[in-house]
Structure formats: structure tokens, C-alpha cells
Amino acid sequence: MKPNKKGRIAKLLGTIWIVFALSQPVMAASIELSLDDSIALALKNNADLKIAQSSREKTYWTVKQAESNKNLDVSLAHTDTRYSSPVTITDNQSSANKFNNQLSLSIPIYSGGKLESQVEQAKLDLKVADLTIDLTKQQLRQTVTTYYFNVLHYRNEVKVNQGTVDNYAAHLKNVQDQYRIGTVAKSDVLASQVELANAEDDLIQAQSNYQLAVAKLNHVIGLPLVSELTLKEDLKYQTYPATFEDCTQTALVNRPEIAEYQAKIASAQADIKIAKSGYLPTVEFALSQNWYDKDFPGLDNSNWQATLTTSLNLFDSGLNKSKVKQSKYNLDTVQEQARQQRDTVLLEVREYYLSMREAEKRIDIKKVAVEQAEESLKIAEARYKVGVGTNLAVFDAVVALNQAKLNDIKALYDYNTSKAQLEKAIGTAIEEKRG
């Protein structure tokens, strides 16, 4: 029996619905991240860190190149020659072949310290490259931490602004109820509606700021910009026990930039040695073994030669003197840069330590202000309901509560970001997750 018309239509509609449902984009699940998770992702995905690591590997092979210049060099050369020479006083000529093989060995005996200083300099450059990786990691951690806190900050701002909208909405309902029974004027209703609209505008802006903060965090940790994130943590207060003097001493020991400049100073000193080696003689030993024949491959007629070559530049029109002068002034420059960097490090420690302590003092004050503002709003609402308060007093109380909550969030945000900047300023090492 053929299916009836209604059955065929129902089946067709069901098929269309399934196709439509399958064609809809599947919403990606929100990614849950702690601060440590975010830092680990950034260390894995960040382009600046990968560039620093590649540069370090290049410098490693520069060390190997410098070391090879001190070692034995062995080469093998094979030469095929076709030549002609006159055999009589006439124009008649004869042609001949010559096949030559040469095995050569050479090793530098003395370079005036040039080769040794080049190796030393290359190793110092490798140390700088390692320190640059440490610095890049520390900067990356501080950036991720700040962006993570930015998301928390704007997430809390959204909550505060949503609370403000709810307060205005509840007050508007109260005003409308009062207006319907004739106890307040129409102007109170209109003014309440305006305040609610303004609060909704602030909420939209806070939501936009939150979405942008999420996109920036996604970017720095290497996730697609549109990834939905659920952050496991919140802005909180954790005491920082170290004194300013402790932080200063730690920074002078741990900051990669200070160790980096110490290596650069040593490298500049090695450059002076390299330049001065031009005043000294060089000694090289070479040994060669030759075979040649008119027939390929030319392995007859063996002969060898050993050579010990000593050379000294007697006059170069001041060329080497100029190199020495340049290297000495370069050392002066690097030493001044090192002193400048040290002062910068100490200034950063002072700045972020004081900012952290200043924000710490604000935290308790702002929490008390929030409690007082909440109580003030309750009083203003109660007075308005019984007809002894004004609409403006309620507005002022809502604004005061909103600002008190934002100030509380800002104090926690400033404390946590300043602490993160201080951790970077004192050179706290990165502990990478294994797994």
C-alpha cells in the first residue's frame, strides 16, 4: 500500500529539519583556564619566544664554528688539466693531460689570542641568547597575567553595571507604582527612565570592553580570537611578604638584563683582545701530499711537503690601531649601558613596589565604602517609598554604590597587576609545566 499524502509530507518535512539542523554551526564549548594554564599556552605558542629560541640555536652553532677554527683542517682536491706545448721550433704543437690529487692538512699553532678570544666571545653571545629567552619568558608571563586580570576586571565591571541596571529597573518599577496611585509626579518616571537608559548604555560598553579583553588574551596565548573563555580565578588579595630591600637585592641578582650586560661587557673585552692580536705574530703548520700522472686518476709520482709559516704584520697604515680604538670605545659604551640598565631595574622595582603597597591600602577602605553605599541605597529607597525621600537622592545613592564597587574592583586590579609587574621587575624565574 502506498503511503498517504500526509505521511509523505511529514517525512519530507522531517528530512528538511534534519538537514537544517546539521547545517547549523556548532557552538564551541567554553575553554576553562587558570592563570597558570594561560601562561603555559603562551609559552607554547608565542612567536616572540620561538624567535628567541631559534636565535639561540643559531648562536650555539656560531660557537661551534668559532671552535672549529682552532682545529685541524683536512681537504682533498682533484684537478684535471688539458694543456698544449710546442715540441719543435715550428708551429706544430702537441697536447697532453695531467691529473693531480692533493691531500692537505693544516692547523693553527698560535694566533696571538685571536682564535681563543673569538671562541670566548661566541660563548658569551650564547649566554646572552639564553638570558634573552629568560627575559622573553618573564615579559610574556607579565603580559599574560595583565591580560588575564584585564578580563577579570571587565568581567567584574559587567557584574557591577548589571547590578546598577537592576537597581534602576527596580526603582523605576517603584516609581511607576507610586505614579499610578498619584503620589509622585510624571517627571519622576521620566527621570528614572533616563537613568535606566544611561545605566544600560554603561553596561553595553562594559560588555564590549570584556569581549575585547578576552580577544586580547586569546591573541597572546595563541588561541583563536573568538574563543569563549571561562576563567577559573578572580581578582583577590594575597599578601606579599617581601620588603622593598628584599626586592631590590633579588632584582640585582636575578634580572636577566643585568646578567646580560655583564656578558656583553666581557664580550667587549674579548673584542679588544681580538683587535690587539693584530700586533702579534701568527704561526700555522701545514702538510700536503701530492700525486700526479698523465693518466686518470693520477695516483703516481707521489711527493709531500711540510710547512711551518710564521707571519707578522709590520705596517698597516694604522688599520689595527683603529680596530683597537673602536673596540675600547665600544667597551665604554657597553659599560655605560650596563649602569643605565641597573638604574632602570632599581627604578622599576621602586615604582611597582610602591604602586602595589598603595593599592593594598586602598583595598580595605574600598570594601568599607561598598558596605556604606549599599546601606545608603537601602535607606534612600525606603525613604522614597514612604514619601519622605526624593528621586534624586535615590539616583545619587545608586551612582555612589556603582562607583564604590568600581573603586573596589580597581583597587584589587591595581594590586594584582602591580604585584605581577613587581615579579617581572625582580626577575622571578618561570616554572614551566611538564607533561
| Nine cell digits for residue 39 | 601562561
> Is pLDDT above 90 for 336?
yes
Mean pLDDT of 424-430: 90
pLDDT confidence band for 22 (50 / 70 / 90) = very low
In order of their start, the domains of the chain are 30-72+112-280+318-425 (1.20.1600.10)
Peptide bond before 281: cis, by omega within 30 degrees of 0?
no
Name which residue leads in pLDDT, 358 or 26. Answer: 358
> Is pLDDT above 70 for 26?
no
Pairwise CA distance, residues 206 & 155, whole Å:
8
Task: Give DSSP secondary structure letters for 86-113.
Answer: E-SSSS-EEEEEEEEEEEEEEEEEE-TT
| Nine cell digits for residue 266 | 666581557
Give the tens place of pLDDT for each residue, 56-70: 999 999 999 999 999
Mean pLDDT of 380-393: 90
Pairing of strands 229-231, 31-33: parallel
* 263 three-state secondary structure: helix
pLDDT confidence band for 435 (50 / 70 / 90) = very low
> Is pLDDT above 60 for 339?
yes
pLDDT at 271: 94
Pairwise CA distance, residues 172 & 168, whole Å:
6
Beta carbons of 198 and 172 less than 8 angstroms apart: no
Beta carbons of 121 and 203 less than 8 angstroms apart: no
pLDDT confidence band for 7 (50 / 70 / 90) = low
Give the tens place of pLDDT for each residue, 218-274: 999 999 999 999 999 999 999 999 999 999 999 999 999 999 999 999 999 999 999
Q: What percent of the chain has pLDDT over 70?
A: 90
Residue type, 173: K
pLDDT confidence band for 23 (50 / 70 / 90) = very low
Lowest mean pLDDT among 10-14, 39-43, 400-404: 10-14
Give the tens place of pLDDT for each residue, 345-360: 999 999 999 999 999 9
Mean pLDDT of 165-174: 93
pLDDT at 385: 87
> Is pLDDT above 90 for 4?
no
Per the confidence metrics, is the pTM higher than 0.85? no
* 235 three-state secondary structure: coil
pLDDT at 30: 87
Q: What percent of the chain has pLDDT over 90?
A: 80
Mean pLDDT of 16-35: 61
User: How many residues in total does the chain contain?
Assistant: 435
Pairwise CA distance, residues 138 & 111, whole Å:
41
pLDDT at 416: 95
> Is pLDDT above 60 for 85?
yes
